[in-house]
Amino acid sequence: MKDVQSEPDHRNIDLAKVGIKGIRYPMNVLDKANKAQATVATVNMYVHLPHKFKGTHMSRFVEVLNDYCADLNLKTFFEMLDRIKKKLDAPAANLEISFPYFIKKKAPVSGVSSMMEYTCKYMGEINGDERKLYIGVKVPVCTLCPCSKEISTQGAHNQRGLVSVTALFEEFFWIEELVGIIESSASSGVFALLKREDEKFITEQAYNRPMFAEDVVREVTDKLKKDPRFTRFTVEAENFESIHNHSAYAYTEVAPRQS
């Protein structure tokens, strides 16, 4: 049959990324507590398309995805990228995988357990001999406003927030480690299940640990910078304000200094 995608294109324009986007697929990922966790991932797969080709072959992306979805880990991630690059005969390949990840979490006083959901992402690229992998996680937290506490005679407003960290993967670390760093940097963590004694504890903990969005970003950044495994990363915090019609936002990026 005629292969239209492989036909030449006369416009002489390279395309940085072509491929498939937003395909949802069942997948197993590495889990610290249980070795593997079944999840449903949203996957974007791209290759660089040289100017001489009209298009790419979409079905080949899904063929590769199907071969690796049962056992996705940090080793097979680059194997998957290599396969995409080779199968599509491309100079560069990109892979983005986002998925819900569940961690069993105990309430601080009662000790009751529940499953807490976090949104995670793997983002990788192979370009010639260069290989890069970034791991990201989004963690819900609670923050209490320092200004509100300072000026109020009774109480202070608090709200849920979302803190995102994306880190270059150079040395091994667990998703759970990033989650722990983030949650310990906020006024308090967020839980799926709490009893009354837990609510009392968390309310008082948050009141005694007021945090702006800026404070959370600086706290997370400070802890990551002290760990030699994290050399390049971004930290982002958004507080969904409870008394304002807007969110409070802070962001920073850390990269190695150029010598």
Q: What is the pLDDT of residue 19?
A: 92
Both tokens of 250, joined, read 């802070």
Contact yes or no for 238/213 (Cβ under 8 A): yes
Query: Domain 1-97 in CATH: superfamily?
Result: Urate Oxidase; (3.10.270.10)
Domain 107-259 falls under CATH 1.10.3720.10? no
CA distance 31 to 37: 6
Nearest to 123 by CA among 252, 253, 234: 234
Nearest to 94 by CA among 137, 139, 51, 130: 130
Q: Is the pTM of this model over 0.85?
A: yes
Residue range(s) occupied by CATH 3.10.270.10 in the chain? 1-97, 107-259
- Count other Cβ atoms within 10 Å, centred on residue 72: 22
Encode pLDDT of 98-122 as tens digits. Answer: 999 999 999 999 999 999 999 999 9
Encode pLDDT of 121-161 as tens digits. Answer: 999 999 988 999 999 999 999 999 999 999 999 989 999 99
Q: What is the pLDDT of residue 45?
A: 94
Q: What is the pLDDT of residue 110?
A: 98
Give the chain's largest Cα–Cα span: 78
Q: Which residues of the chain have pLDDT under 50?
A: none
CA distance 18 to 5: 12
Strand partners, 117: 102
Q: What is the pLDDT of residue 7?
A: 61
